Every structure is written in C-alpha cells, then in structure tokens.
Amino acid sequence: MKLFQCQVCDNVLYFENRTCERCKHRLAYVPELGTLSALEPAAGDTWTALAAPDRPGRLCANADYEACNWLVAPGSEQTFCVACRHNGTIPNVSDPPQRAAWQQIEVAKHRLFYTLLRWNLPLKTRTEDPAHGLLFDFLSDPPETQGPKVLTGHDNGLITIALVEADDVEREKRRKGMGEPYRTLIGHFRHEIGHHYWDVLVRDGGKLDACRAVFGDDDQDYGTALQRHYAEGAPPDWQEHFVSTYATAHPWEDFAETWAHYLHIVDTLEMASAFGLEVKPRLGGSQDLAVRVDFDPYGAAGIQPIIDAWLPFVFAMNSVNRAMGNRDLYPFVLSPRVIRKLGFIHDLVHGQI
C-alpha cells in the first residue's frame, strides 16, 4: 500500500479515510490514478477530485453505508465503483451489527482491489462473464436450527465470505481451533482470489504444466485430499515445502496460500518502502540483516529482491511486535522451496511465464 497525502493541506492519510482530519475535505480513492484525493462538490451529485480536477465523478453508491470511499470512473453510468460492482449478496444494512461487519469486510476487499488494479489483473464482473466472472457474496449464518453455517470459499469466480469472520472473537476462536498462526479478513480475500486467478491465469491461461511442475499434480481428488488433511494433519517436514499447514492439503490450496503470501509480502513491503524504512541492526559481524526498502515491490523484476528485503524487514518487525507483547507480524518461515513457489506467482502476475 502507498502512503497518501491530502492535496489541500498535506495531511498524511490512510487508504480508508473519508474525511481529512485536518482540513475536513471529503476524500475519495480514484482507482484510475491509484491515489486518494480531496474532493470539492461539483455539479449535481458529482465531485471534483483535486488529484484530477478536469474529470468530476460520482461516489460509489456504497458510500451511503460508509462501506466504500471510491469514485466511479468519470462519465460512467455505473452506480458502483470498480471494486463494488463485483458484490453479489451483501448483508442486511438495516441491521447495525451486520452493517458494521460488512464495513470491516469492505476494508479488506478494497485493499485486495488496490493490489489487483496495481497489477492490472483481468477483472470481469458476473454481467461481463456470467459463468466465471468475479462475484462476492457476504453471507451471515442462518439461525442455529436452520441449516449449516456459511463456509468461506471459492467456486468458479464466486467468492463467499462468512460475515462472522468479521467478528474478532469468533475469528480468533477459529484461528486457535484450526491451529493457525494468522487469520484475518484480508488473508481470506487474498487466499480466495488466488483460487480465482488459478482458474483465470493458470487453467485458462495455458500455464497448467508450468504450475504443476512447481505445485504438484492437481489431478488428485480434491474432496478426498481435504478429508485426509483434516484427519491426518500436515506431514512433519511440511515447513521445508509449504508456507502453511493448510497448503499441504492439495496443490490448489498450496497455490492459493502461496498467492496470498505473495500479496501479503508485496503490499506490506510497499508500505515499508513508502515510509523509507531501513533496517540497520546495531550488531557486530555479518550485516545480513541490513536492508533499505527503497524500491517498488509491485514492479520488482523478480522474486529475489522482494525476498532480500522481506526477510530482514520481517525479522525487525517481528521483534518490534514481540517488544509490544503482540504476535509476530509475519509468523511464517520461507524455505527455499517456498521461495521458488513465490517466484512462480511473481512471474505469473507479471506475465513472465
């Protein structure tokens, strides 16, 4: 994620801000420019973004629910922004807890779209591609007696996110129950979209053989593989080959987990770069841990510069978190095999396979 600044008063802004705290200007993200902009009211229901003053646009309709702060492209007839037009079922907005949960989910979803747009990845709505277009359903569980709980997952472009995952207590309970070191809403989005882009870029992109050479043969029965994973757990040496225990379940899950980690790493490093972070430990001897994050990881030439910056940066950030009594920022180990898999995702995203 980049760092944004108010065009009126230079205040530094978060991606989610709707108003500048200093000058009180309304703010919106302009996806075509990849920037957050202060707004001035223009004709009718349009606003002038000071970052692009010649192109007034409307706010996404989800701004009414404080669920979106993006502008619809100027001249577009669309009601929703480029991120929200992929929404299918949304929660009941007249129910305050559901609405609050949805707002949390939208924060994570918009950060995902920031990344997808940075790489210009193919994005088709369900209207544009009725069979495989990208669609999100945000579903709340039925009452206890009426059927099974909602499962977060992906099926042919349809990504379902269980609304209850926005509940910190419930999500933490699930994290502990599954023995996971990390569970977040943005993690769910980055994982599930990995399945979608496996369909789009690997299966439909003619990259199956190249992908199988790295992630293994995905021809094995998925249902049986998952059952085996839940019955037996991960093999003892999983860390040498996989980024997480869940990645061991099936090559599709390995791909989605590795994809999610690649997104975690690139976006977090971009934030570090925006702040000009430098790690320079006051230690004698080897300076393997010294790094200055001063490049754009979204445009990196290969996986190696990303990893070379990530490892020292994460060691520093994990240490900072431990000093504060928090869990590690990034509680994972990247083995050489996993780095090779991340390299495949890098090349795939950049069209280099």
- Cβ proximity to Zn ion: between 81 and 269 the closer is 81
CB 28 within 8 Å of CB 38: no
- Among positions 151-180, residues that touch Zn ion (CB under 5 A) are none
- Cβ proximity to Zn ion: between 62 and 244 the closer is 62
Out of 9, 33, 213, 301, point to the residue binding Zn ion (CB under 5 A): 9
Out of 39, 51, 68, 166, point to the residue binding Zn ion (CB under 5 A): 68
Give helix 96-118 / helix 251-274 axis angle, nearest 10°: 80
Which segment (54-62, 160-168, 214-222, 282-290) binds Zn ion by CB under 5 A?
Answer: 54-62
Enter the tokens of residue 24.
């009180």
Examine residue 314 and tell whether it contacts Zn ion (CB under 5 A): no
- For the CB of residue 84, give the shortest distance to Zn ion in the complex, in Å: 3
Enter the tokens of residue 292.
């200055």
| String of contacts with Zn ion for each residue 79-118, x by CB under 5 A | --x--x----------------------------------
- For the CB of residue 180, give the shortest distance to Zn ion in the complex, in Å: 13
- Cβ proximity to Zn ion: between 12 and 320 the closer is 12
Please report, as a single letter, which amino acid is at residue 106.
Answer: E
Which segment (10-18, 133-141, 292-300, 308-316) binds Zn ion by CB under 5 A?
Answer: 10-18
In three-state form (DSSP H/G/I as H, E/B as E, the rest C), the secondary structure along the chain is: CCCEECCCCCCEECCCCCECCCCCCEEEEECCCCEEEEEEECCCCEEEECCEEEEEEEECHHHHHCCCCEECCCCCCCCCCCCHHHECCCCCCCCHHHHHHHHHHHHHHHHHHHHHHHCCCCCCCCCCCCCCCCEEEEECCCCCCCCCCCCCEEECCEEEEEHHHHCHHHHHHHHHHCCCCCCCHHHHHHHHHHHHHHHHHHHCCCCHHHHHHHHCCCCCCHHHHHHHHHHHCCCCCHHHHCCCCHHHCCHHHHHHHHHHHHHHHHHHHHHHHHCCCEECCCCCCCCCCCEECCCCHHHCCCHHHHHHHHHHHHHHHHHHHHHCCCCCCCCCCCCHHHHHHHHHHHHHHCCCC
- For the CB of residue 268, give the shortest distance to Zn ion in the complex, in Å: 21
Which segment (70-78, 165-173, 196-204, 258-266) binds Zn ion by CB under 5 A?
Answer: 70-78
- For the CB of residue 100, give the shortest distance to Zn ion in the complex, in Å: 17
Q: Would the CA dihedral through 341, 347, 348, 349 be positive or negative?
A: positive
- For the CB of residue 82, give the shortest distance to Zn ion in the complex, in Å: 8
Examine residue 1 and tell whether it contacts Zn ion (CB under 5 A): no
- Cβ proximity to Zn ion: between 137 and 278 the closer is 137
Examine residue 71 and tell whether it contacts Zn ion (CB under 5 A): no
- Cβ proximity to Zn ion: between 191 and 313 the closer is 191
Examine residue 23 and tell whether it contacts Zn ion (CB under 5 A): yes
| String of contacts with Zn ion for each residue 225-264, x by CB under 5 A | ----------------------------x--x--------
CB 3 within 8 Å of CB 274: yes
- For the CB of residue 147, give the shortest distance to Zn ion in the complex, in Å: 22
- Cβ proximity to Zn ion: between 60 and 309 the closer is 60
Out of 47, 70, 102, 136, point to the residue binding Zn ion (CB under 5 A): 70
Residues contributing to the site for Zn ion (CB under 5 A): 6, 8-9, 11, 20, 22-23, 60, 62, 68, 70, 81, 84, 253, 256
